Amino acid sequence: MIPRRRVVITGMGVITPVGNTLESFWRSLLEGRSGVGPITRFDTSEYETKIAAEVKDFNPEDYIDRKEARRMDRFCQYGVAAANLAIEDAGLLNADVDKERVGVIIASGIGGMETFSAEIKKLFDHGPRRVSPFFIPMLIADIVPGHVSIMHGFKGPNYSTVSACASSSHAIGEGFQMVRDGRADVMIVGGTEAAILPMGVAGFNAMRALSTRNDEPERASRPFDADRDGFVMGEGAGVLVLEELEHAKRRGARIYAEMAGAGYTADAYHITAPAPGGEGAARAMLLALRDAGLEPKDIDYINAHGTSTPYNDREETKAIKAVFGERAYAIPVSSTKSMIGHLLGAGGAVELVATVLTIRDGMIHPTINYEKPDPECDLNYVPNQAIRREVRAAISNSFGFGGHNVCLAVKRFEG
Q: What is the mean pLDDT of residues 198-214?
A: 97
Q: What is the mean pLDDT of residues 285-314?
A: 98
Cβ contacts of 43 within 8 Å, gap of 6 or more: none
Catalytic residue among 147, 170, 247, 342: 342
Domain presence at residue 3? no
- Domain limits at 309? 262-411
CB 184 within 8 A of CB 103: yes
pLDDT tens, residue by residue, 268-278? 999 999 999 99
Task: Report pLDDT for 415.
Answer: 82
Q: Check whether residue 39 and residue 105 sit in a common domain.
A: yes
Q: Check whether residue 115 and residue 185 sit in a common domain.
A: yes
Mean predicted lDDT score pLDDT of the chain: 97
pLDDT tens, residue by residue, 65-104? 999 999 999 999 999 999 999 999 999 998 999 999 999 9
End position of a domain, from candidates 197, 218, 250: 250
Q: Check whether residue 283 and residue 365 sit in a common domain.
A: yes
Q: Which amino acid is at 145?
A: P
Domain presence at residue 112? yes
End position of a domain, from candidates 182, 216, 250: 250
| Integer CA distances (angstroms), 381 to 224, 315, 332, 369, 378, in order | 8, 15, 6, 11, 8
Active site residue 165: yes
pLDDT tens, residue by residue, 100-147? 999 999 999 999 999 999 999 999 999 999 999 999 999 999 999 999
Q: Check whether residue 227 and residue 176 sit in a common domain.
A: yes
Domain presence at residue 156? yes
Q: Check whether residue 220 and residue 275 sit in a common domain.
A: no
Catalytic residue among 305, 377, 404, 407: 305
Which residue, among 406, 13, 84, 397, has the nearest Cα to 240 in the 3D structure?
13
Number of domains comprising the chain: 2
Active site residue 76: no
Q: Check whether residue 305 and residue 229 sit in a common domain.
A: no
Q: Check whether residue 273 and residue 231 sit in a common domain.
A: no
Catalytic residue among 165, 365, 404, 407: 165
Q: How confident is the model at residue 364 (pLDDT cuts 50, 70, 90)?
A: very high
Active site residue 305: yes
Burial class (CB in 10 A: 0-12, 13-18, 19+), 212: middle
Task: Report pLDDT for 3.
Answer: 77
CATH code, domain with 76: 3.40.47.10
Domain presence at residue 257? no
End position of a domain, from candidates 181, 215, 250: 250
End-to-end CA distance of the chain: 24
Q: Check whether residue 176 and residue 266 sit in a common domain.
A: no
pLDDT tens, residue by residue, 12-58? 999 999 999 999 999 999 999 999 999 999 999 999 999 999 999 99
Query: In terms of pTM, does the model score above 0.85?
Result: yes
- Asked whether the predicted pLDDT for residue 1 surpasses 60, the reply is no
Domain presence at residue 306? yes
Q: Check whether residue 192 and residue 90 sit in a common domain.
A: yes
